[in-house]
Homo-oligomer: A and B are copies of this chain.
Amino acid sequence: MSEPLRINGARLLDDLEALSKIGETPEGGVNRPALSAPDLEARRWFRARAESSGFEVLEDGMGNISAVLRSDVPDAQTVMCGSHLDTVPNGGRFDGALGVVAALEVLRTVQDAGLMLPYHLEAMSFTDEEGTWGGLLGSRALAGRLTPDDFENARGSTAALFKQAMESAELTPQGALRAQRSPESIRAWVEVHIEQGTRLEESEAHTGVVTSIVGIASYWLTFIGRADHAGTTPMDRRLDAMRGLAEFVRQARELVMNRFPKGVYNCGSVQISPGAFNIVPERARLALEFRHHDAGKLDAMREALLGLALHVVEVEGLSLEVEGLGMYPPAPMNRAVIAAIESSCNALGLRYAEMASYAGHDTQVMAGITKAGMFFVPSVGGASHSPRELTIDEDCINAGNVLLNAVLRLGEDSRT
């Protein structure tokens, strides 16, 4: 077996460093919410870097920007790789950015090596992975999963702000809805991303090969009682919405940990009304999110958690409003992509561990239209969505090398 091709590590690290200056924060983080001025600047930087290497640059109606290294084979399919340039507010330098610069470096390395591939190679930067305006917007546009509703029913002031942000990027909902690509044109998708956890550190593996991306469901649950004077109403005559909320939060944790040990749940926000010290709460609105890798188990979690909420309101004499905010189904990764990543690790002498992803990524959308897979490199201490986010240089270079070799293997696969 010949020595595997390797990327130019210094060039990749230079790109990462340059990118980290765009939207840099005093704490050493990066602030590039999707379609913000720093995000638009990062896109221009990416375009300029791609053009300086002579790549064709594509931009679609959702603002996805990609560099393409064309094959001269007629009717060639495309092997795509990439990630996203947007960040959460005051996020880290590596989340998304590493996957984009690694993809660009893959194209440059293939070009430098003079390889003539029988497929196009495309390095993609997707718009709004993080959810400033909805989440996974770019990949959903490319996969044909957006609807007018994604633009019209953003809530309250957000809809107007979203419209402004789209205009500032010279984008329109009509254009975004036309960004769909033909699935037949795409051979495969691979993404490298930082782990955002500590499993790699603990297992001392270099890369985490993702076997599936978690399914996510979100709900607003509103427990409804009766507003009463908190002094004059006897304790045993109150219909206290807060009590329903507290019972649900407590029992939901036991339910998930006992019945769904591989699932997770979160109650991340609460709104109480009327919301005064001296008024018994009439409405307690709870943000509920839960995740599981198994579609059947995710359904069972939904039934169990909503059933628990109904049980709680019955016991407490309250009523319940349930508002579903949508569900991302679990996305198992393609076995051929997993094999390409793992054999690349073996060829490069890198230890890998298979693992599930508990975070959402553009790859889960791409899995709906093509052979898709992704892998992680270590996050020091697991820090994520934080200026403390760190992936050491060696692991960034590993990211590029594994991505390069996986992409080349997926191309071999395309000739079979």
- Chain A residues engaging chain B, CB cutoff 8 angstroms: 195-197, 214, 216, 218, 229-236, 240, 242-243, 245-247, 249-250, 253, 256-257, 264-270, 272, 274-281, 284, 287-289, 291, 325, 357-360, 382, 384-385
Q: What separation, in Å, do the CA atoms of A325 and B280 have in the docked complex?
A: 18
- Cross-chain contact of A235 among B197, B256, B267, B384 (Cβ < 8 A): B256
Q: What separation, in Å, do the CA atoms of A196 and B234 have in the docked complex?
A: 12
Q: What separation, in Å, do the CA atoms of A288 and B197 have in the docked complex?
A: 36
Q: What separation, in Å, do the CA atoms of A232 and B193 have in the docked complex?
A: 13
Given contacts A230-B268, A235-B265, A266-B280, 15 further A-B contacts (CB under 8 A): A216-B231, A229-B385, A230-B289, A230-B291, A231-B291, A231-B359, A232-B357, A232-B359, A235-B264, A266-B277, A268-B279, A269-B275, A270-B270, A276-B287, A277-B287
Q: Is B243 touching A358 in the complex (CB atoms < 8 A)?
A: no
User: Which residues from B are CB-within-8-Å of A289?
Assistant: 230, 277-278
User: Which residues from B are CB-within-8-Å of A214?
Assistant: 231
Query: Do A246 and B235 form a contact, CB below 8 Å, given A266-B278, A268-B276?
Result: no
Q: Is A253 touching B277 in the complex (CB atoms < 8 A)?
A: no
Q: Is A267 touching B250 in the complex (CB atoms < 8 A)?
A: no
Q: What separation, in Å, do the CA atoms of A280 and B266 have in the docked complex?
A: 6
- Cross-chain contact of A249 among B218, B246, B266, B275 (Cβ < 8 A): B246
Q: What separation, in Å, do the CA atoms of A325 and B276 have in the docked complex?
A: 13
User: Which residues from B are CB-within-8-Å of A195?
Assistant: 232
Query: Do A232 and B384 form a contact, CB below 8 Å, given A246-B245, A249-B246?
Result: yes
User: Which residues from B are CB-within-8-Å of A280?
Assistant: 266, 268
- Cross-chain contact of A275 among B216, B233, B234, B268 (Cβ < 8 A): B268
Q: List 17 A-B contacts (CB under 8 A).
A: A196-B229, A231-B291, A231-B358, A231-B359, A233-B264, A235-B253, A240-B266, A242-B267, A243-B253, A245-B246, A246-B249, A250-B250, A268-B278, A269-B277, A269-B281, A277-B288, A277-B325
Quick one: copies of this chain in the complex?
Answer: 2
Q: What separation, in Å, do the CA atoms of A276 and B218 have in the docked complex?
A: 11
| CB-based nearest B residue for A271 | B270
Q: What separation, in Å, do the CA atoms of A199 and B230 have in the docked complex?
A: 15
| CB-based nearest B residue for A288 | B277
The residue among A231, A233, A250, A270 with the most chain B CB atoms within 10 A of its own CB is: A231
Q: Is B253 touching A249 in the complex (CB atoms < 8 A)?
A: no
Q: How far is the CB of A84 from chain B (nearest CB, A)?
A: 16
Q: How far is the CB of A292 from chain B (nearest CB, A)?
A: 11
User: Which residues from B are CB-within-8-Å of A325?
Assistant: 277
Q: Is A268 touching B257 in the complex (CB atoms < 8 A)?
A: no
Q: Is B269 touching A276 in the complex (CB atoms < 8 A)?
A: yes
Q: What separation, in Å, do the CA atoms of A196 and B233 have in the docked complex?
A: 9
